[in-house]
């Protein structure tokens, strides 16, 4: 299956306790596209960049067989830029600068070559923009996956709810699930979010793993404990990308397949945090991925005899 990704393609400047970078390649769609390509899944990116976006990055996408016909280049504009500094525990960060630039007036254009994508992954953007993508597709994709965040719950809840109503799989963190539902218990929160539309609710908990809810079924995984987390930037996007790409590969959207997809997403995300930006992810081969999934299996497999 083909995966259509709508999300930012950006520059990031990152500082962690281990070092800092100049402007490097970032953005949700970037991480998602690279992740899909590592997994041998064809994806297309719908996004916008400025005239300052280097040809080498475009070449990298093309070389990875990522369709960038939907990646608009606004020659006179500048690419979205984010700069942040992580605290010592890497669990929180300060945003030093956000320059929205060409993303301000982003009007997504779906190329004909991607109109038949079966899976649509809507990266974290204004829910109005996410909705407009759905409206621009000739037919509704078989699966719509939505990534969003508390910022849109605070600033655009009504339109976000419209978007959520048209979503099959929503991916948010635990605090966001509580904010969206008004329920503290994640089990209750997921039930309430089910009634808002999504049949599948993924709750991301960073270093504490993730939980997948579907009707009365629950699947929970820890995160792979890592000796070093170098840079968390892009981990959530890589997770979403690995999740969606696995479904595209298996061409199935049932609970059992989603469970496996959660594992694959987590495994892929565990690579991203090992180096700055997309550096580590770009090095990954299929064998590395298989090895890490095996580690996941070892990490979580048990028998109990009583």
Name which of 87 and 109 has its Cβ closer to its own copies.
87
Query: Three-state SS string across the chain, please?
Result: CCEEEECCCEEEEEEECCEECCCEEECHHHHHHHHHHHCCCCEEEEEEEECCCCHHHHHHHHHCCEECCCEEEECCCCCCEEEEEECCCCCCEEEEEEECHHHHHCCCCCCHHHCCCCEEEECCCCHHHHHHHHHHCCCCCCEEEEECCHHHHHHCHHHHHHHHHCCCEEEEEHHHHHHHHCCCCHHHHHHHHHHHCCCEEEEECHHHCEEEEECCEEEEECCCCCCCCCCCCCHHHHHHHHHHHHHHHHCCCCHHHHHHHHHHHHHHHHHHCCCCCCHHHHHCCHHHHHHHHHHHHHHHCCCCCC
Residue of 93, 192, 259, 275 that binds its own copies (CB under 8 A): 259
Contact between 135 and its own copies per CB under 8 A: no
Contact between 227 and its own copies per CB under 8 A: yes
Residue of 208, 215, 251, 291 that binds its own copies (CB under 8 A): 208
Contact between 291 and its own copies per CB under 8 A: no
Name which of 29 and 177 has its Cβ closer to its own copies.
177
Contact 115, 137 (CB under 8 A): yes
Termini Cα distance of the chain: 45
Contact between 158 and its own copies per CB under 8 A: no
Name the minimum Å distance from CB 227 to its own copies. Answer: 4
Residues 163-202 that bind its own copies (CB under 8 A): 184-188
Contact between 218 and its own copies per CB under 8 A: yes
Residues 8-67 that bind its own copies (CB under 8 A): 39
Contact between 293 and its own copies per CB under 8 A: yes
Contact between 254 and its own copies per CB under 8 A: no
Residue of 249, 275, 282, 288 that binds its own copies (CB under 8 A): 249
Residues 91-130 that bind its own copies (CB under 8 A): none
Name the minimum Å distance from CB 153 to its own copies. Answer: 18
Judged by CB under 8 A, the stretch of 55-63, 112-120, 147-155, 283-291 that binds its own copies is 283-291
Judged by CB under 8 A, the stretch of 23-31, 122-130, 159-167, 206-214 that binds its own copies is 206-214
Q: How far apart are CA 262 and CA 243, in angstroms?
A: 6
Name the minimum Å distance from CB 192 to its own copies. Answer: 12
Site size toward its own copies, by CB under 8 A: 44
Helical axes 286-300 vs 255-272, angle rounded to 10°:
110
Residue of 115, 132, 179, 260 that binds its own copies (CB under 8 A): 260
The residues that touch its own copies, with contacts defined as CB under 8 A, are: 39, 88-90, 184-188, 205, 208-209, 211, 218-223, 225-229, 249-250, 256, 259-260, 262-264, 286, 289-290, 293, 297, 299-300, 302-306
């Amino acid at each position: 299956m083909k995966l259509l990704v709508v999300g930012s393609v950006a520059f990031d400047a990152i500082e962690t306790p281990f070092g800092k970078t100049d402007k490097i390649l970032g953005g949700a769609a970037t991480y998602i596209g690279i992740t899909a390509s590592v997994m041998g899944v064809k994806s297309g990116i719908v996004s916008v960049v400025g005239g300052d976006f280097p040809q080498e990055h475009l070449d990298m996408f093309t070389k990875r067989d990522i369709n960038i016909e939907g990646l608009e280049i606004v020659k006179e504009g500048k690419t979205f830029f984010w700069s942040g500094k992580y605290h010592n525990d890497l669990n929180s960060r300060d945003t030093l600068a956000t320059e929205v630039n060409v993303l301000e007036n982003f009007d997504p254009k779906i190329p004909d070559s991607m109109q038949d994508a079966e899976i649509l992954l809507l990266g974290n953007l204004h829910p109005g923009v996410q909705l407009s993508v759905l409206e621009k597709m000739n037919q509704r994709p078989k699966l719509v996956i939505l990534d969003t965040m508390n910022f849109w719950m605070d600033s655009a809840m009504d339109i976000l709810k419209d978007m959520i109503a048209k979503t099959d799989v929503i991916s948010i963190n635990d605090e966001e699930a509580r904010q969206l539902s008004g329920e503290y218990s994640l089990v209750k929160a997921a039930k309430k979010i089910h009634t808002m539309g999504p049949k599948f609710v993924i709750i991301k908990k960073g270093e504490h793993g993730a939980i997948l809810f579907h009707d009365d079924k629950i699947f929970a995984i820890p995160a792979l404990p890592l000796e070093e987390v170098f840079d968390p930037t892009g981990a959530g996007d890589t997770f979403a990308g690995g999740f969606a790409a696995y479904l595209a590969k298996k061409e199935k959207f049932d609970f059992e397949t989603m469970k496996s997809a959660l594992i694959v997403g987590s495994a892929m995300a565990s690579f991203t945090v090992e180096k700055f930006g997309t550096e580590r992810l770009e090095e990954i081969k299929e064998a590395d991925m298989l090895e890490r999934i095996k580690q996941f299996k070892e990490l979580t497999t048990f028998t109990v005899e009583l």
